[in-house]
Structure 1
Amino acid sequence: MGVQRFLSSARLPISRLALPQPPTHVLPPRVLRSVASLRAYSSGIVSSPYNDVHIPEISVTQYLFDAQEPYADKTALVDGISGHSLTHGEFREQCHRLGSALTRLGVTKGDVVGLVSPNCPEFAVTFYGVAAIGAVNTTVSSAYLADGIATQLFNSGASVVVAHKGVLPAVREACEACPDVRHIIVIHAAPEDEQAGLLSYQTLLKDDGKAFPQTVQIDPREDMVVLPYSSGTTGLPKGVMLTHYNLVANMQQLQHEDISTLNNTGDKQEVFLGILPYFHIYGMVPCMGMSLVSGSKTVTLPFLKPELFVKTMEKYKITYLHTVPPILDFLASSDMVKPELLAPTHSVLCGAAPIGTTLITDLLKKFGDGIYFQEGYGMTEASPVTHVTPRTKFVMGSTGVSIPNTLTKIVDLNTGKTLQPDGGEGELCVKGPQVMKGYYKNEEATRATIDPEGWLHTGDIARMDQDNNVFIVDRLKELIKVKGLQVAPAELEDLIRQLPDVTDVGVVGMPVDRASGEAPRAFVVLSSGSQLSLKAIEDFVEGKVPPHKKLAGGLEYVEAIPRSPTGKILRRELKAMALSRLAQ
């Protein structure tokens, strides 16, 4: 066991601190495989220090089901609330049965199925059952209210929705605004749900499987498997087209022997805690996907409550723990968490938002070096992982080096030139097989994010040291990170503008605490003589958005919103103004 980390701004890192430190090199010798790679390095384009991995040209479900074969009799998923479990073999069978039932409902290749559910074994079965018949998942946050659900279902063109009974009221309201939705399938449906014309998920699982489309042809590089929504570097949420090849690539990359700490050989079986939301790309691929493809066991929890978290950790002896900064803060600072709670845990990984060195130090002080703490970097548009810290050299504050098959460069913001390692700060750009196909029905946004040479422009300002470790310095993009979740200022601004008497509005992220990171703060300009109160604005927003998008950072009136000559909101000026007032 060792101590390593896994960070991200939708992003992910790695290193075993207990190991002796080898001599450092500007570029490890094994990367220098050819004159071409030397030329690439001299141009500032940096390859991964890890050997490339083979990426099979198959669907993600074939990839998964083939990998599960040796583990068919081992437990794959456990519902942390009910205790109900599935083996890997039962999981594959249920995916097959659900795929057959969906086919009988008219779902065919390319159709979009909305999936609105907290974490549970049924989420994973639905995701891969939909993928197995060539259909596309669009995963929706179960914290969304009806408006947010409707927006994603409508934009994605979903024709069927699978919803957990706990979110059914919001889903039913949302579907009233989505005429293309033909069926709502309810996980753990009650008798009255079926009487209301809704379909029972558990009833569909009794299908005999005979309608499963055995001959469906999937083009891994072109066919989508999932359409999650991300705000990208700015603006409103957009559908991220991730293909079968994208997901297979990222899971292959993460299983590289110099990265993965998973060990399911013999009688050993890793145990994951499925607490990070599966609708989010971090929960979807590194957590749910990697657990299944590696033959591990995952205990799912639908929500994070401290007592339940601790009780589940103790009962199931979690060996491999994915976290986000709020969970790390809880582990490091809560009296409920004793050092022995992580005794069975050999690896702790953190992603989705940056973590400060203070939190890392507190964590290691409490739990020692018996844990391998992993940190890294990625984003939804990269399926999601692009960087992890090297196992042999942990660098505090770094998001690591590029993973196999992945190129990195830092681009000067003023000149557009690629900087050499240790050559200053610029925008982080990456290229690899995990990079998305593009934004759904949004070519303009795609062109703004992926350039003609295939480089994904992340919107993060970073620097790279001589060992090719990447350090995230700031965000060029405007996104606000709240407990690892994205909040697009433009989305809140558009919402607030719906109110009468609001003539202009600007939203920025304000620092709150090390667990939450930031929270949205709105600056509002009212028309002359308006009586609209701050409380009325706050209540209006609160009734329209999920908890992480509420104006927890504050709300204030201003005479004008600072803008550039082209009309762009100068968010840094707004933020500086607010910080100055708070300091006074």
Structure 2
Amino acid sequence: MRDDERVLYGPRDDQPLPDIPLGHFILERLKQYGDKIAQIYVDSDETYTFSDLVTRAVSVAEELHDRGVQPGDVIAVITKMSSDFTPLLVGGLLVGAVTAPLSPSFDNRVMTALLKIYQPKYIFCDPNFATAVEQVIPHLDSHPELLQFGRWSAWDEFIQRRSSPNYNPMEIPSFWEREAIIMCSSGTTGFPKGVILTHKSILAQMIVAIGPHVELMRSDDTVLQLSPIFWISGLFQQLLPLVSGATVVILSSFSADKILKTIQEYKVTELFVSPNLAVMLAKTPSCNQYDLSTLRFIMCSSTTMSGKSQAMVETALNSRLSQWYATTEAIMVLGHTSRDQVKKGSSGRLQPRVKAKVVDLTTGKCVGPMVWGELCISSPWLTKGYYGNSKAMVDDQGWFHTGDMVYYDEDECFYVVDRISDIIKYKDKQISPSEIEELLMQHPGVKDAAVMGFKCKVDHDECLLTAVIRKLGSNVTEKQLVEYLASNMEEHKWLKGGVIFMESIPRTPTGKIQRHILREQINQGKKESRTTA
């Protein structure tokens, strides 16, 4: 629904929010599902029931309380996919602590800067990351204690103590707007920021996601999680099963065949993947050798996918695919519900309780259907801001400007074009690199591609250059790719800047191209070639 001012509204949702802190709500839901299997960690061969998670979470909460952790204290967690993360997260929430997951892949500079902002009381990490973390601790004013996950360590005091069978969570004052979790932004354009998720914002999102309108997850579902817990997608793949009663199967490392085998072996019903990974699975030669009949729903987010690729994936995996749009700051914004007729290539409609507008980049005025503009959002689960940064995240009217170029059709289905900062301008044209990358990925000799704009020597406009990873055994040439694109796209989208073949293209763990890093690599390569010429 949209009003006369072209502001669009998601469906009304009158489900009341529970008037309890987030940790209390999760604990109550965990108790409802008892001995049903909650989590299966394939790589470490660990299985936990919902009752196991209750015992482990309460044990952690009691130990944190005994160690003097207070509401508002920050607990940093550096792990990719440890089975100890869930009890630490829930246990921390039960005492009002703020959990801050961090990527183990952050270099010393990024890790130090973020931890200086967070000033955690404790840092928990996998043993193989301990040495790197120890180098950071002397730079922190909070002098945190470092605890390593795993047996025969101080972590045993948290996870193996005898928890009280009549545990009552402590009262947490003013919990609605209190920080619950700090998640890192994707860092696609530069330095990641700590995004604050409050008790209210997470509760509101979870209630809608498992409610009757969206029904993203049911108690009879088996969900396959591939995304690490330090990204918003991985966090909610952990949280939603806890409150919906679904079983989550977790892979910490994977290949296409390993994913397909896991779907078959564990009878997975829901798969959450990036578009790039979905296409890779569909193109895997052995795909049709696996029984994927239980798979009923594939959810893709993080980057765009064309209608053609979406149809190809649905055919290959014999499952319905729904594209969603989410950001760390606004969580889930757009998507198709379980009953929607999916429009290929679309990221769906506004979710319940969300309102949005698409504004012209020059005038700031709202535009109508089929016109490109920036997506601006307002919702109950819009995040509080960036930790340690007093700068307002929203404008003076309460709108969050996403930085994403989108448009919507007459049915109010949205289509994501690209990041505004990634849009390439050539003469009077605006070019989406994602559209060209999508076409290049369909070439039989291309494994991955990233398109950039570089200044042309002749007319000083931006010319398109692409970085390409060849498929194994492929000998595709620059000339072939340039001609391929020229025969399939308008002239202003041709690769007039040429093709560079690379061994890898920098991406975030959720599949987004890190264009600022790629640009540095390409510029460095040009300098080196001039030096050696």
Instruction: Output aligned runs, 1:173-252, within 5 Å.
Output: 173-189=135-151, 194=153, 199=154, 201-209=155-163, 214-230=169-185, 236-252=191-207
Instruction: Output aligned runs, 1:310-329, within 5 Å.
Output: 310-329=260-279
What is the CA distance between 1:472 and its match in structure 2? Answer: 1.4
Q: 1:379 aligns with which of 327, 336, 361?
A: 327
What is the CA distance between 1:423 and its match in structure 2? Answer: 5.9
What is the CA distance between 1:121 and its match in structure 2? Answer: 2.2
d(CA) in 2 for partners of 1:83, 1:282: 23
**TM-score under structure 1 normalisation?**
0.71
Question: CA 1:153/1:516 → structure 2, altered by over 3 Å: closer, same or farther?
Answer: farther
Question: CA 1:375/1:91 → structure 2, altered by over 3 Å: closer, same or farther?
Answer: same
Q: Partner of 1:415 in structure 2?
A: 363
Could you tell me which amino acid in structure 1 is paired with residue 111 of structure 2? I
Could you tell me which amino acid in structure 1 is paired with residue 99 of structure 2? N
d(CA) in 2 for partners of 1:387, 1:202: 42
Please list the CA deviations of residues 175-224 of structure 1 after superposition, one character each: whole Å capped at 9, or x if unmatched.
Answer: 243342421111115x5xx5xxxx3x233212234698843314333101
SS of residue in 2 equivalent to 1:284 = helix
Q: Partner of 2:482 in structure 1?
A: none
Question: CA 1:294/1:213 → structure 2, altered by over 3 Å: closer, same or farther?
Answer: closer
Q: Partner of 2:385 in structure 1?
A: 438
CA contact (8 A) 2:121 2:145 kept: yes
Q: 1:281 aligns with which of 232, 240, 250?
A: 232
Once the two structures are overlaid, the 10-residue window that deviates more, 168-177 or 247-256, is 168-177
Question: CA 1:161/1:559 → structure 2, altered by over 3 Å: closer, same or farther?
Answer: closer
d(CA) in 1 for partners of 2:449, 2:376: 24
Question: CA 1:323/1:558 → structure 2, altered by over 3 Å: closer, same or farther?
Answer: closer
Question: Does residue 555 in structure 1 map to residue 505 in structure 2?
Answer: no
Q: Partner of 1:503 in structure 2?
A: none
Question: CA 1:324/1:474 → structure 2, altered by over 3 Å: closer, same or farther?
Answer: closer
Q: Partner of 1:491 in structure 2?
A: none
Q: Partner of 1:396 in structure 2?
A: 344
Q: Partner of 1:101 in structure 2?
A: 63
CA contact (8 A) 1:97 1:212 kept: no
Q: Partner of 2:249 in structure 1?
A: 299
d(CA) in 2 for partners of 1:56, 1:348: 29
Could you tell me which amino acid in structure 2 is paired with residue 96 of structure 1? V
Q: Partner of 2:81 in structure 1?
A: 119
d(CA) in 2 for partners of 1:436, 1:277: 21
d(CA) in 1 for partners of 2:175, 2:448: 37
CA contact (8 A) 1:389 1:469 kept: no
Q: 2:406 aligns with which of 462, 468, 475?
A: 462
Question: Does residue 453 in structure 1 map to residue 407 in structure 2?
Answer: no
What is the CA distance between 1:317 and its match in structure 2? Answer: 1.5
Could you tell me which amino acid in structure 1 is paired with residue 160 of structure 2? K
Q: 1:149 aligns with which of 111, 116, 124?
A: 111
Q: More relative contact order in 1 or in 2 (CA 8 Å, sep 6+)? A: 1
SS of residue in 1 equivalent to 2:262 = helix
d(CA) in 1 for partners of 2:507, 2:307: 32
CA contact (8 A) 1:324 1:351 kept: yes
Identity %, equivalent residues: 23
CA contact (8 A) 2:30 2:53 kept: no
What is the CA distance between 1:232 and its match in structure 2? Answer: 7.8
d(CA) in 2 for partners of 1:51, 1:215: 30
CA contact (8 A) 2:188 2:508 kept: no
Question: CA 1:69/1:212 → structure 2, altered by over 3 Å: closer, same or farther?
Answer: closer
Q: Partner of 2:298 in structure 1?
A: 348
Could you tell me which amino acid in structure 1 is paired with residue 321 of structure 2? F
CA contact (8 A) 2:256 2:284 kept: no
Question: Does residue 357 in structure 1 map to residue 307 in structure 2?
Answer: yes
Could you tell me which amino acid in structure 1 is paired with residue 232 of structure 2? I
CA contact (8 A) 2:21 2:175 kept: yes
- The answer for unaligned runs of 5 or more in structure 1 is 1-26, 28-39, 481-507, 524-541, 561-584
CA contact (8 A) 1:115 1:140 kept: yes
Question: Does residue 158 in structure 1 map to residue 151 in structure 2?
Answer: no
Could you tell me which amino acid in structure 2 is paired with residue 167 of structure 1? F
SS of residue in 1 equivalent to 2:9 = coil
d(CA) in 2 for partners of 1:521, 1:142: 31
SS of residue in 2 equivalent to 1:257 = coil
CA contact (8 A) 1:103 1:213 kept: no
Question: Does residue 140 in structure 1 map to residue 84 in structure 2?
Answer: no
Q: Partner of 1:257 in structure 2?
A: 212
Question: CA 1:455/1:342 → structure 2, altered by over 3 Å: closer, same or farther?
Answer: same
Q: Partner of 2:376 in structure 1?
A: 429
Could you tell me which amino acid in structure 2 is paired with residue 454 of structure 1? G
d(CA) in 1 for partners of 2:234, 2:125: 18
